[in-house]
């Protein structure tokens, strides 16, 4: 899918202090940027930002970083953040934004610097020749293993069953992760759905009657970081 270029995106992101301009310069120093020692969680492919902004509001003792590859997509989340900033309640202070490719994670975060990674309704890349581009492929799992500590988790949600089945198999075959939780119908699974925050896509797909799948992968204590 071709993304529509939004000319003003670069200027808006440059002017927003919550958008980190030199993320590689923060490697091993993210706690300094947040000015606390709270755990850091990231969402890769944050879309319009509803999921991560809600998490940040509900959990002030956790630092959140939203990652998008394209400025035109990240713009939507930043604009939503700015609207919150102008409201009486204000926007959460425990959130930052990055415009970067997820393949650069080890260049931006030190080993163990991230405790949890969220992947929500990621691009399925349905053609077999593009399987390595899927954010739950073994190539990406090996990258996540480099920045998560032992016991750190990856949480993945989708309504795309072929992508979910692929992701489950990739986790089961990974030397870095074990499958810690799985459901094929999240909203009917009382245990897995507890505390669930819906994304914009999740609201749309579930309203259309689509079952939402979710898995949790936990980094093995003995797993190599690659």
pLDDT tens readout for residues 3-21: 567 878 889 999 999 999 9
- Topology of domain 9-219, CATH: Rossmann fold (3.40.50)
E-strand ranges in the chain read 40-44, 63-68, 95-99, 116-120, 153-158, 177-183, 213-219
Convert the pLDDT of each residue in 115-157 to its tens digit: 999 999 999 999 999 999 999 999 999 999 999 999 999 999 9
Is pLDDT at 1 greater than 60 in this prediction? no
Note the residue count of the chain: 226
β partners of residue 63: 40
Active site annotation includes 61: no
pLDDT digits (tens, 9 = 90+) for 126-135: 999 999 999 9
User: pLDDT band at 223, cuts 50/70/90?
Assistant: low
Instruction: Examine the pLDDT at 222 and tell me if it is beyond 80.
Output: no
**pLDDT tops 90 at residue 2:** no
Residue of 123, 165, 180, 189 marked catalytic: 123
Please state the rounded mean pLDDT for residues 87-100. Answer: 95
Residue 8 forms beta bridges with which residues? none
Percent of the chain topping pLDDT 70: 96
Q: What is the pLDDT of residue 219?
A: 98
Closest CA to 153 of 63, 51, 40, 69: 40
Q: How far from chain centre, in Å, is Cα 152?
A: 14
Phi, psi values for residue 173, rounded to 5°: -90, -5
Q: In what order do the strands lie in the sheet with 63-68?
A: 95-99, 63-68, 40-44, 116-120, 153-158, 213-219, 177-183
Reported as a single tens digit per residue, the pLDDT across 24-76 is 999 999 999 999 999 999 999 999 999 999 999 999 999 999 999 999 999 99
Q: Report which of residues 225 and 200 the model is more confident about.
A: 200
In sequence order, what are the residues at sequence separation of 6 or more whose Cβ sits closer than 8 angstroms to the Cβ of residue 88?
A: none
Tokens of 114: 């991230």
Q: How confident is the model at residue 191 (pLDDT cuts 50, 70, 90)?
A: very high
pLDDT at 5: 75
| Domain spans of the chain, in order of start | 9-219
């Amino acid at each position: 899918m071709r993304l529509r270029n939004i000319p003003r995106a670069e200027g808006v992101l440059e002017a927003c202090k919550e958008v980190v301009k030199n993320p590689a310069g923060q490697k091993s120093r993210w706690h300094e940027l947040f000015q606390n020692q709270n755990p850091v969680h990231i969402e890769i492919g944050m879309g319009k930002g509803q999921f991560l902004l809600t998490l940040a509001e509900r959990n002030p003792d956790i630092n959140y970083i939203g990652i998008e590859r394209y400025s035109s997509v990240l713009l939507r989340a930043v604009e939503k953040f700015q609207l919150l900033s102008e409201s009486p309640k204000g926007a959460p202070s425990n959130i930052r934004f990055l415009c970067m490719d997820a393949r650069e994670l080890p260049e931006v975060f030190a080993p163990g610097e991230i405790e949890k990674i969220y992947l929500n309704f990621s691009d399925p890349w349905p053609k077999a020749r593009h399987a390595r581009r899927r954010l739950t492929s073994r190539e990406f799992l090996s990258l996540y293993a480099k920045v998560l500590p032992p016991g750190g988790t990856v949480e993945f949600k989708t309504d795309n069953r072929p992508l979910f089945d692929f992701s489950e198999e990739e986790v089961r075959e990974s030397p870095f992760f074990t499958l810690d939780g799985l459901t094929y119908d999240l909203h009917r699974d009382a245990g897995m759905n507890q505390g669930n925050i819906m994304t914009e896509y999740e609201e749309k797909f579930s309203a259309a009657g689509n079952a939402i799948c979710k898995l949790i992968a936990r980094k093995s204590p003995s797993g190599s970081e690659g």
